[in-house]
Amino acid sequence: AQSVTQLDSHVSVSEGTPVLLRCNYSSSYSPSLFWYVQHPNKGLQLLLKYTSAATLVKGINGFEAEFKKSETSFHLTKPSAHMSDAAEYFCVVSDLDTNAGKSTFGDGTTLTVKP
Amino acid sequence: DAGITQSPRYKITETGRQVTLMCHQTWSHSYMFWYRQDLGHGLRLIYYSAAADITDKGEVPDGYVVSRSKTENFPLTLESATRSQTSVYFCASSEPAGGLVIQYFGAGTRLSVL
């Protein structure tokens, strides 16, 4: 069985300061991991993905995530927050081989960016 | 327009009524999914489909029915709507490649059951 835990339901940062959104996962096999972003009243957009290649993954809008197998973590970071980063972020785990393409979503982290 | 579209965007209905939410994708993706999004629960999978005429239950299928007679369409029907089905519903599609299942989401349907 696979599961995802987003450790913070809300994160608040000031504009220009670093962002850290934490995600731990559980999967029986080598998973694919994703971060999606959802702006208010919008659908979800893929930020980045990990697929067992490089452990440090770069995504859109300056976001990165590092896969740490020993810690079963896939935390999302950005060096400097922008007001437009305010949104809901979802960590997602997917195991194509054992779950027929189904994905498991974390409960989401709401990022607030203060001016 | 290319992409994945959901209709209607907003729907208000009464308990006991049948409601159908539409989802259409233009990529010919094999997989399609229906999720509901509620505060405190993230996205929960209702049903998914790996191909036309193949559907399977997700995490919260009770009270919902799906069909997939054509690859591009995946309607979700609430047979007798209940207040607990008030939610935002998202459709997604995916074409697995290289072991990846990247999902592309529609803009969502906000459903209120009174």
- Residue carrying structure tokens 């591009």: B72
Segment A27-60, tens digit of pLDDT: 767 788 899 999 987 888 999 988 777 889 999 9
* pLDDT for position B73: 97
The tens digit of pLDDT for each residue in B35-94 reads 999 987 788 999 999 889 999 999 899 999 999 999 999 999 999 999 999 999 999 998
Closest CB from B92, B99, B107 relative to A32: B99
B23 three-state secondary structure: strand
Distance CA B79, CA B98 (A): 37
Mean pLDDT computed over every residue of chain B: 91
Q: What letter represents residue A5's amino acid?
A: T
- The candidate with the shortest Cα–Cα distance to B56, out of B69, B70, B45, is B45
Structure tokens at B50: 């790996």
Both tokens of A14, joined, read 């000031």
| Res B72: pLDDT | 95
Size of interface A-B (CB pairs under 8 A): 62
- Sites in chain A below the pLDDT cut of 70: 28, 96-101
Amino acid at position B10, single letter: Y
The minimal CB distance from A101 to the residues B41, B94, B106 is found for B94
Q: Is B41 on the interface with A (CB under 8 A)?
A: yes
